Structure 1
Amino acid sequence: MRRLIDVRPGPGARVLLGGLPILALLVFYFLASETRHAANPADKVLPTFGAMAAAVRDFVTDRDPATDRVVLVADTLASLYRLGLGLGIASASALLLGLLLGVVPVARALLAPTVAVVAVIPPIAVLPILFIVLGLDEASKVALIAIGVAPFMVRDLAGFVAGLPAEQFAKAQTLGAGGWQLALRVALPQMMPRLLEAVRLSLGPAWVFLIAAEAVASDLGLGYRIFLVRRYFAMDIILPYVAWISILAIAANAALLSVSRRGFPWAHGSWR
């Protein structure tokens, strides 16, 4: 008799099993929504799927007066621009500092405590300072994302590089490698899949910081739209926007995972 721990579902079975909880949640929401609306047709807490579809239809047909784009498209492009720029700055900073701290012990002793201190500061608490220093435009929102995720990425990459086998560096030095060659030829190639993994893990916090910044001071963006309509209890708009953010996050995660597997198959236990 096969034990449950020994059962390995195939690709199709994994998709089916992964979709079952989501389907169950949708069925539960449908039943709860219909029950509430049967008792109170004006209920706004659990809008019906039809009401949400009507709200989404308005946002994919109406145009934003500031950009002359469809509202949903304008909000999505604004948020993705801020998110991409913030994560890009954080990734570049983490790559450089992680490489430096991981390879050079003196730099690690000098800068690691500062990075650790910055990492424990709640980024949301820094948001008013960023608004005062950088203003209410894009710079403060992008800076919040970068400051929020970069310290953790730096610590992760620096720890990864510092934990590489010392024999690799010793053999490279035996073959005549200098400091830059150790960093660029030994440490950097092994860092890249770890960097992509760090970016994937930072997507969730980055979205939180983005929505918080857009909610406080913005006139466009997914977070701005959610907090704009909350005063009207417009759950028929909020829930589809939350679902759309989730879809974007899942797509970004899948894209990063695909790039990592294609570019660095050895890091995933497979060779092409």
Structure 2
Amino acid sequence: MGLHANPPVWLKRLLIVLPFILVVVVYLWASDARLAENPADKILPSLSQMGDAIQRMAFAPDRRTGEYLLWQDTLASLTRIVIGVGSALLVAILLGLNMGLFIGFRSVLLAFITMVAMVPPLAILPILFIAFGVDEFGKVALIFIGTFPVMTRDIYLAVIKIPREQLVKSLTMGASSMALAYRIILPQVLPRAIDSLRLSLGAAWLFLIASEAIAATEGLGYRIFLMRRYLAMDVIIPYVAWITLLGFTLDFLLSLLNRKVFSWYTESKK
């Protein structure tokens, strides 16, 4: 197949699903082999065992609390991650935009933001829990600190790539500094900010699960590490698959938002 070959639609779709099919086939083969040797094996549960676990976690109320645990955990985790990355994006847009346009902001903040971006967020997790407690604020703070410096630098780089001639013409025609920043430049960097958010979601999920594993009473990460004590892989594997699906869905929705609202941006990338 040459560099410029364009395979038919059916072949494209087959190539997309082929890796997933291979993973499922390998898993089913390994699971069947282990269960044939030891029916009580918990490491690679069968599809029926995972189906029973999903039924128990998602569609049957918990005997102790009466809650549907999967949906309770999902709501708790999504609330934390939306607040964390949402606030990080707002701060990143504000700082990145002003750092890219105004030398004073850049001189004060660029070195500091660069240094903060180098700090491993998981290394300061104990500090956050000591300073802010183990409640919701500490978990959201970890997601915020782990994502906003990278997004800030990305937006800053997008701003400084805007042709200087455009800035000069805007000011020459009477635009104020605030109008230049928020009415002319901001709409141009918003789609890049959404792309930056998409790239940061993977790290945000990592920070969320780490914080929930250490100190939480509900959440997807909390449930996975709780089930680990009992080697309940029939629960852990569906939870991991559910987190993956949630992450993919969020990424798809953000990509769709860019295509619908900023079609000029997505067209320019083709």
TM-score normalized with structure 1 length: 0.95
The worse-fitting range, judged by mean Cα deviation, of 259-268 and 14-23 is: 14-23
Q: How does 1:1-272 map to 2 (within 5 A)?
A: 3-9=1-7, 12-64=10-62, 68-269=66-267
Q: Could you list the runs of 4 or more consecutive aligned residues of structure 1 that deviate by over 6 angstroms after TM superposition?
A: none
Q: Which whole-Å CA distance do the structure 2 matches of 1:64 and 1:183 have between them?
A: 52
Give CA-to-partner distance per residue, 1:118-148, whole Å, 9 cap, x none: 1111101111111111111100001100100
Q: Which whole-Å CA distance do the structure 2 matches of 1:66 and 1:265 have between them?
A: 50
Q: Which whole-Å CA distance do the structure 1 matches of 2:162 and 2:63 have between them?
A: 54
Q: Secondary structure at the match of 2:229?
A: helix
How much is the aligned-residue C-alpha RMSD, in angstroms? 1.5
Q: Which whole-Å CA distance do the structure 2 matches of 1:237 and 1:244 have between them?
A: 11
Q: Which whole-Å CA distance do the structure 2 matches of 1:222 and 1:83 have between them?
A: 11
Deviation at 1:4, TM superposition (A): 2.4
In structure 2, stretches of 5+ residues that fail to align are none
Task: Report sequence identity in percent.
Answer: 46
Q: Secondary structure at the match of 1:232?
A: coil
**Shift in CA distance, 94/12, structure 1 to aligned 2, threshold 3 Å:** farther
The worse-fitting range, judged by mean Cα deviation, of 162-171 and 204-213 is: 162-171
Give CA-to-partner distance per residue, 1:58-98, whole Å, 9 cap, x none: 10133357874311100000000000000111011001001
* Matched-pair contact (CA < 8 Å) for 1:64–1:74: no
Q: Which whole-Å CA distance do the structure 1 matches of 2:107 and 2:11 have between them?
A: 49
Q: Secondary structure at the match of 1:63?
A: coil
Deviation at 1:185, TM superposition (A): 2.3
Q: Secondary structure at the match of 1:219?
A: coil
* Matched-pair contact (CA < 8 Å) for 1:94–1:154: yes
Q: Which whole-Å CA distance do the structure 1 matches of 2:152 and 2:63 have between them?
A: 41
Deviation at 1:16, TM superposition (A): 2.5
Q: Which whole-Å CA distance do the structure 2 matches of 1:84 and 1:207 have between them?
A: 10
Q: Which residue identity is paired with 2:197? A: V
**Shift in CA distance, 49/157, structure 1 to aligned 2, threshold 3 Å:** same
Deviation at 1:14, TM superposition (A): 3.0
TM-score normalized with structure 2 length: 0.95
**Shift in CA distance, 21/191, structure 1 to aligned 2, threshold 3 Å:** same
Deviation at 1:7, TM superposition (A): 1.9
